[in-house]
């Protein structure tokens, strides 16, 4: 007989409509026996009453429906982003508000390096917020003798120092796309696009921007810490090549009791010929474990809005930029979707611009006509610029949305002023419309693109406030209840995990988020500031305070 | 397909599925030692335009050249391993679509792996997906210390190109494939009638200054995979598709663009042409051609948007000895180009 623990809380918010709130939850073998009053739970048998949460609020474990395990690896390098960010070791990194502050932080980081030639790498640079671009002269102040590389927030652009340009033999007279030059025709050190930045990284012996770091296990532990700190118990890793060596480390960690998260990796279906991808994902089908769920497939249709690479229908970008790029031929998309769909995979599709969203819906509709399915639960990831008509179609097709609400705060002002213009910026990530029109939706961070914190994401969806304080679309605000549903049961639904996760009721996994305050009673503007005590995963408490770096 | 016995000396290694993501065929034939940079030709165009057929055609043509074939597009047709093997070559499949970050990384790693082979490939043929920018892939060659960019070849399906051009989702992607192309291969010409073929030809030549050849079943002579043949504008347009030559030179009354071909004066240097193009930029949509640089090497020059690019396709001027190549320029104008043409002919650089 295994032991029963009954947790007592100040308040338990269950997401179970029949009993929205209670104060005790009984757990055995990682599974919830029941939630309710204490005397409704004692009938399960002998128990231990655990009162450590007596003054805390318990939620179903938060689910981050779109983030990436690079969140962990990123912290091997120096963070130079514009907004404050908490590291997996709970260190708060202040946002850097000017190029000089960026350089100063890199100078400090350079002093920490052990050998004289080891490269220095920064990440999270977002010059869209600065009055000028970063140049090699800036980075030469950090070092002239070792490679200095700073990856932009977009992941598609880097800045390098003169040392790297020389090693890679990149000169102003080269005719390659994306080489930014000064008025004298010399490279400024800003390198856009794959050919340039991959060649530069290679020349100084550095790995790809998306590399999982030297120590995969450490990176994946850090990833878990980032989640735990934010009160998250289930994370997606939403574009993984699922290479055997990484998968092995992931599976090993997931088998350990002290690993505090469930991970749902999505196989990036475009990385290999479709037939091979189908073969691979099918071969993994039986290998899911309690904390590692395989089988999800991700496809990427277009780029990003702030990177001006998302695909838009007319009238296109507000600032007149040319249309973005397809990551997959829209004519081919139905074939790729059909192949994975037929194999039984659930498919999540990245679409940012409205043209990409429409192409994905056209493809899904065609596939479902040919291979009908009562519950394929396709999910459009980001789906930032969907029109009402798209949401209506999604509802009919049973397609979910996972909206990128953090964008509203991070780049909302840029969308209003540069990329989308006022009207469209005010209907970005239209959670209210999605819900009203009957679309199941969640909201996400896309960490490390923005920081991982479902309470912050909920705050964004509820307040729709930009950095400058502008409100983007009063009508698209959702209520706190709706936002909290979106980061629990809503997200579970998009992952087809709603039978197991997302609410606190008999038979579900004992995954909880433990909060110091009640999101339903604090001011909605304070949602993001609620302190997270930690989590409970399968009945085992994971206090944030015990995280060691 | 039949091959001489010596071609079968290669051994096909099939790596474990997926990782690393390629099939490699290696040969045991005597290495040809060449210190020079390995040329890279990038083959673009939508899925279904005949890229893979073209590769298979080239590989079955018994040239004796050791090709390394890299494929970034996966249609129903696969590059024939046996053909690759026959050429002592290597074939690599890389990412579908264009997930750019990983694509670049995989691409460079794959190229490096191939260059380390002994004997190393004599030419890279990289087939890219329709949504990948062939110029971005060619840039990888420009930047690589062991490679030189040779050609960008874009295949166009004569049957469907007008549909693509009229599809707001794909028109700009088509243009992205065609603008940087050094050679446009108008394929599947047998599937359209003469009237439509003429219309397609004049549509393409009115918009794009690149040389164009017409083919059926992707039957492109191997010489066309290297820049050498493109340096002679006077050579009659290769027409491997139909006996009727297309009316490429005639100006389509419907078109709002003007095309002109100029044989450059012998004394015209690259910098002078560059200055002329700058000067007349506002009346030009695009221009493309070959001109001598200060070292006397024929280089290609291209104007598109407000960018002028000069590419050296050759290891040295030696490649041209005995060739009939002449410097020339093809320009597409937004207005009639008589003034521009006169200025070029007189080498009137102000
Ligand atoms: Zn993502
Ligand atoms: Zn990318």
- For chain A, the domains span 75-203, 216-501
Distance A521 CA to ligand 1 centre (A): 32
Among A358-367, B159-168, B320-329, the least confident range: B320-329
- The residue among A354, A452, A446, A356 whose CA lies nearest residue A403 is A446
Write down the pTM of the prediction: 0.88
Beta-bridge mates of residue A47 = A4
Q: Is residue A329's pLDDT more than 70?
A: yes
Q: Which two tokens stand for residue B299?
A: 């280089």
Q: Mind listing the pLDDT tens digit for each residue in A173-220?
A: 888 888 999 999 999 999 987 788 888 998 998 876 556 667 899 999
Q: Which helix (H) or strand (E) holds A513?
A: strand A512-515
Calculate how far, in angstroms, residue B263's C-alpha sits from the geometric centre of ligand 2: 42
The percent of residues above 90 in pLDDT, for chain A, comes to 86
Average pLDDT over residues A368-375: 96
Q: How much distance in Å is there from the Cα of B108 to the middle of ligand 2? A: 15
Q: Do B98 and A199 touch (CB under 8 A)?
A: no
How confident is the model over A463-486, as a mean pLDDT? 98
pLDDT at A322: 93
Residue of B320 and A121 predicted with greater confidence: A121
Chain A and chain B share a number of CB contacts under 8 A equal to 137
Average pLDDT score over chain A? 95
Q: pLDDT tens, A277-314? A: 999 999 998 899 999 999 999 999 998 998 888 999 99
pLDDT of residue A507: 98
A301, A359 Cβ separation under 8 angstroms = yes
What DSSP character marks residue A487?
I
Cβ count within 10 A of residue A388:
13
Q: Is the pLDDT of residue B192 over 50?
A: yes
Cα of A241 from ligand 2 centre, angstroms = 14
Calculate mean pLDDT across residues A521-530. Answer: 98
Q: How confident is the model at residue B93 (pLDDT cuts 50, 70, 90)?
A: low
B60 plus B151 within the same structural domain:
yes
Residues B237 and B318 in one domain: no
Residue B170 has pLDDT above 80, yes or no: yes
ipTM for this model: 0.89
**What is the pLDDT, as a whole number, of residue A270?**
80
What value does the mean pLDDT of chain B take?
Answer: 74
Q: How far B309 CA lies from chain A's nearest CA (Å)?
A: 6
User: What integer pLDDT is reported at residue B5 of this predicted model?
Assistant: 26
Whether residues B116 and B176 share a domain: the answer is: yes
Find, in chain B, the residue whose alpha carbon is nearest to that of A156.
B101
pLDDT at residue number A319: 94
Residues B88 and B65 in one domain: yes
pLDDT band at residue A493, thresholds of 50, 70 and 90?
very high
- What are the angstrom distances between the C-alpha of A504 and each of A387, A510, A512? 34, 8, 8
Asked if A325 lies within 8 A of B131 by C-beta distance, the reply is yes
Buried b (16+ CB within 10 A) or exposed e, B142-155: bbbeebbbbbbbbb
Gap from CA of B101 to ligand 2 centroid (Å): 4
Inform me whether the pLDDT recorded for B318 exceeds 50: no
Which of 271-330 (B) contact A at CB < 8 A? 309-311
Give the E-state strand segments of A426-466 in sequence order. 441-443
Closest CA–CA distance from residue B129 to any residue of chain A (Å): 8
Amino acid B80: pLDDT:
59
Identify whether residues B82 and B223 lie together within a single domain. yes
Q: Is residue B77 over pLDDT 60? A: no
Cα dihedral A30, A35, A37, A41, rounded to 10, equals -50
- B168 contacts in chain A (CB < 8 Å): 313-314
- B residues 132-161 lying closer than 8 A (beta carbon) to A: 133, 135-137, 139-140, 142-145
Neighbours of A516 (CB within 10 A): 12
Same domain, B133 and B264: no
pLDDT for B37-60, tens place per residue?
Answer: 999 999 999 988 999 889 888 888
More confident residue, B226 or B278: B278
- pLDDT > 80? residue A127: yes
Same domain (yes/no): B46, B162: yes
Of A519, A515, A514, A516, give the one whose Cα is nearest residue A539: A514
Ligand nearest to the CA of A68: 1
CA distance A412 to A417: 9
A195 to B143: CB separation less than 8 angstroms, yes or no: yes
Interface residue B343 vs chain A (CB under 8 A):
no
Using one digit for the tens of pLDDT, what is the confidence trace for A379-389? 999 999 999 99
Percent with pLDDT over 70 in chain B: 67
Cα–Cα distances in angstroms (integers) from residue B321 to residues A279, B298, B315, B325, in the given order: 53, 11, 13, 9
B237 and B265 belong to one structural domain:
no
Confidence check: pLDDT of B67 > 90: no
Q: What's the Cα-to-Cα distance from A173 to each of A148, A177, A187, A192, A549, rounded to whole Å?
A: 22, 12, 9, 16, 46
Which residues does chain B have within 8 Å of residue A243's beta carbon, measured at their own beta carbons? 18-19
- The confidence band for B319, taking pLDDT boundaries of 50, 70 and 90, is very low
The pLDDT of residue A133? 93
> Of B253, B275, B302, which residue is a domain's last?
B253
pLDDT digits (tens, 9 = 90+) for B95-136: 444 434 445 566 788 888 888 888 888 889 988 888 888 998
pLDDT value at position B349?
Answer: 60
Backbone angles phi, psi at A503, to 5 degrees: -145, 165
Cα(B172)–Cα(A415) distance, integer angstroms: 23
Residue B4's domain spans which residues? 1-32
Whole-number Cα distances in Å, B173 to A299, B100, B161: 19, 15, 12
Looking at the structure, tell me whether residues B231 and B327 fall in a common domain.
no
The model's confidence at residue B328, banded by pLDDT at 50, 70 and 90, is confident
Closest chain A C-alpha to B97 CA, distance in angstroms = 4
Q: How many domains does chain B have?
A: 3
Residues 114-133 of B with CB under 8 A from A: 129-131, 133
In B, residues 164-203, which contact A (CB 8 Å cutoff)? 168-170, 172-173
Q: How close, in Å, is residue B126 to chain A by CA atoms?
A: 14
In contact, A171 and A145? CB cutoff 8 Å: no
Using CA atoms of A69, A72, A76, A77 in order, give the dihedral in degrees to the nearest 10. Answer: 70
Is residue A258 within 8 A of residue A250, CB to CB? The reply is no
Q: Which of A49, A11, A457, A495 is nearest to A237 (CA)?
A: A495
Pick the CATH number of A216-501 from 3.20.20.140, 3.40.50.300, 2.60.40.1120, 3.10.20.30: 3.20.20.140
Q: Where are the beta strands (DSSP E) in chain B?
A: 11-14, 23-26, 38-44, 67-71, 90-93, 123-127, 147-157, 183-187, 211-214, 258-263, 284-292, 298-304, 307-311, 328-333
Please check whether residue B137 is in contact with residue B107, taking contact to mean a CB–CB distance below 8 angstroms: yes
B219 in the same domain as B247: yes
How is residue A428 written in tokens?
Answer: 């970005």
Domain limit, last residue, from B253, B287, B304? B253
Provide the pLDDT confidence category of residue B258 given band limits of 50, 70 and 90.
Answer: confident
Q: Which CATH class is domain A75-203?
A: alpha beta
pLDDT at B15 over 50: no
Q: A196–B139: do the CB atoms touch at under 8 Å?
A: yes
- pLDDT average, residue stretch A91-100: 97
pLDDT at position B327? 84
- Alpha-carbon Rg for chain B, nearest whole angstrom, is 20
CB contact under 8 A, B130 and A329: yes
Q: Are residues B305 and B163 in the same domain?
A: no
Could you say which of B188, B219, B253 is where a domain stops?
B253
> From the CB of residue A431, how many other CB atoms can be counted at a distance below 10 Å?
27
If asked whether residues B209 and B85 sit together in one domain, one would say: yes
Which residue in the set A176, A268, A311 is minimally distant from B142, CB to CB?
A176
So what's the pLDDT on residue B86? Answer: 54
Q: Is B97 on the interface with A (CB under 8 A)?
A: yes
Burial profile A433-470: b = 16 or more Cβ within 10 angstroms, e = fewer: bbbebebbbbbbbbbbbbbbbbbbbbbbbbbbbbeeeb
Residue B82 scores a pLDDT above 60: no
pLDDT given at position B19:
25
**pLDDT bucket at B31, cuts 50 / 70 / 90:** very low
Would the pLDDT of B253 be above 70? no
């Amino acid at each position: 007989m295994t032991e029963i623990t009954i947790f007592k809380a100040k308040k338990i918010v269950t997401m179970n409509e029949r009993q929205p709130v209670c104060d005790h939850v009984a757990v055995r073998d990682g599974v919830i026996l029941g939630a309710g009053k204490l005397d409704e739970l004692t009938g399960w048998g002998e128990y231990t009453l655990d009162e450590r949460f007596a003054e805390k609020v318990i939620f179903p474990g938060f689910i981050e429906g779109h983030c990436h395990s690079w969140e962990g690896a990123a912290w091997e390098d120096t963070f130079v982003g514009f907004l404050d960010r908490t590291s997996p070791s709970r260190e708060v990194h202040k946002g850097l508000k000017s190029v000089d502050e960026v350089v100063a932080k890199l100078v400090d980081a350079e002093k920490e390096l052990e050998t004289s030639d080891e490269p220095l790498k920064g990440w999270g640079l977002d010059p869209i917020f600065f009055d000028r671009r970063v140049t090699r002269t800036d980075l030469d102040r950090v070092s002239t003798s070792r490679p200095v590389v700073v990856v932009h927030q977009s992941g598609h652009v880097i800045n390098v120092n003169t040392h790297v340009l020389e090693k890679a033999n990149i000169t102003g007279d080269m005719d390659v796309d994306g080489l930014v030059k000064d008025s004298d025709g010399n490279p400024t050190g800003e390198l856009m696009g794959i050919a340039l930045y991959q060649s530069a990284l290679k020349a100084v012996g550095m790995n790809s921007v998306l590399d999982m770091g030297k120590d995969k296990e450490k990176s994946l532990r850090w990833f878990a810490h980032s989640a735990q700190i934010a009160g998250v118990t289930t994370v997606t890793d939403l574009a993984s090549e699922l290479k055997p060596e990484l998968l092995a480390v992931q599976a090993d960690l997931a088998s350990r009791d002290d690993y505090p998260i469930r991970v749902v990796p999505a196989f990036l279906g475009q990385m290999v010929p479709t037939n091979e991808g189908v073969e691979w994902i099918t071969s993994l089908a039986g290998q899911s474990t309690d904390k590692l769920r395989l089988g999800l497939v991700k496809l990427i249709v277009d780029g990003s809005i702030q990177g001006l690479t998302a695909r838009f229908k007319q009238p296109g970008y507000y600032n007149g930029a040319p249309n973005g790029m397809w990551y997959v031929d829209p004519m081919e998309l139905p074939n790729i979707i059909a192949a994975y769909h037929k194999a039984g995979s659930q498919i999540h599709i990245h679409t940012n611009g409205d043209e990409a969203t429409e192409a994905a819906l056209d493809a899904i509709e065609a596939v479902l006509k040919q291979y009908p399915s009562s519950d394929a639960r396709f999910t459009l990831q980001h789906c930032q610029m969907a029109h009402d008509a798209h949401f209506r179609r999604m509802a009919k097709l049973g397609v979910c949305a996972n909206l990128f609400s953090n964008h509203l705060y991070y780049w909302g002002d840029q969308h209003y002023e540069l990329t989308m213009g006022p009207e469209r910026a005010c209907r970005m990530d239209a959670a209210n419309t999605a819900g009203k029109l009957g679309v199941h939706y969640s909201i996400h961070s896309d960490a490390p693109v923005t920081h991982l914190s479902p309470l912050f994401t909920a705050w964004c969806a509820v307040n729709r406030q930009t950095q400058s304080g502008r409100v983007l679309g009063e009508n698209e605000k959702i209520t706190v209840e709706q936002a909290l549903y979106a980061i629990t049961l809503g997200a579970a639904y998009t992952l087809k995990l709603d039978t197991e996760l997302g609410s606190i009721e008999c038979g579900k996994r004992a995954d909880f988020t433990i909060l110091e305050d009640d999101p339903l009673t604090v001011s909605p503007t304070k949602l993001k500031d609620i302190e997270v005590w930690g989590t409970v995963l399968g009945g085992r408490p994971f206090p944030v305070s015990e995280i060691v770096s | 397909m039949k091959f001489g016995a010596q071609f079968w000396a290669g051994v096909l290694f099939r790596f474990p599925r997926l990782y690393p993501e390629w099939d490699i065929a290696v040969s045991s034939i005597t290495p040809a030692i060449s210190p020079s940079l390995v040329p890279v030709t990038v083959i673009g165009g939508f899925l279904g335009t005949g890229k893979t057929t073209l590769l298979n055609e080239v590989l079955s043509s018994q040239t004796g050249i050791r090709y390394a074939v890299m494929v970034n597009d996966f249609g129903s047709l696969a590059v024939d391993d046996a053909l690759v093997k026959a050429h002592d070559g290597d074939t690599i499949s890389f990412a579908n679509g264009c997930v750019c970050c990983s694509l670049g990384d995989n691409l460079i790693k794959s190229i490096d792996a191939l260059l380390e082979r002994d004997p190393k490939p004599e030419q890279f043929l990289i087939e890219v997906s329709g949504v990948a920018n062939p110029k971005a892939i060619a840039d990888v060659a420009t930047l690589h210390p062991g490679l030189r960019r040779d050609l960008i070849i874009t295949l166009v399906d004569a049957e469907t190109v007008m549909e693509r051009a009229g599809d707001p989702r794909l028109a700009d992607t088509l243009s992205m494939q065609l603008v940087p192309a050094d050679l446009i291969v108008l394929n599947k010409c047998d599937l359209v009638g003469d009237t439509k073929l003429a219309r397609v030809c004049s549509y393409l030549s009115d918009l794009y200054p690149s040389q164009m050849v017409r083919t059926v079943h992707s039957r492109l002579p191997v010489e066309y995979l290297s820049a050498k043949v493109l340096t002679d504008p006077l050579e009659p347009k290769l027409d491997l598709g139909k006996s009727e030559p297309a009316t490429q030179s005639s100006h389509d009354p419907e078109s709002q663009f003007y095309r002109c071909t100029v044989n450059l004066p012998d004394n015209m240097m690259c910098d002078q042409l560059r200055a002329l193009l700058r000067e007349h930029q506002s009346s030009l949509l695009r221009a493309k051609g070959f001109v001598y640089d200060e070292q006397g090497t024929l280089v290609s020059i291209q104007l598109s948007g407000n960018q002028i690019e000069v590419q050296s396709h050759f290891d040295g001027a030696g490649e041209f000895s005995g060739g009939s190549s002449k410097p020339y320029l093809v320009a597409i104008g937004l207005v009639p180009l008589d003034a521009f043409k006169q200025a070029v002919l007189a080498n009137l650089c102000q």
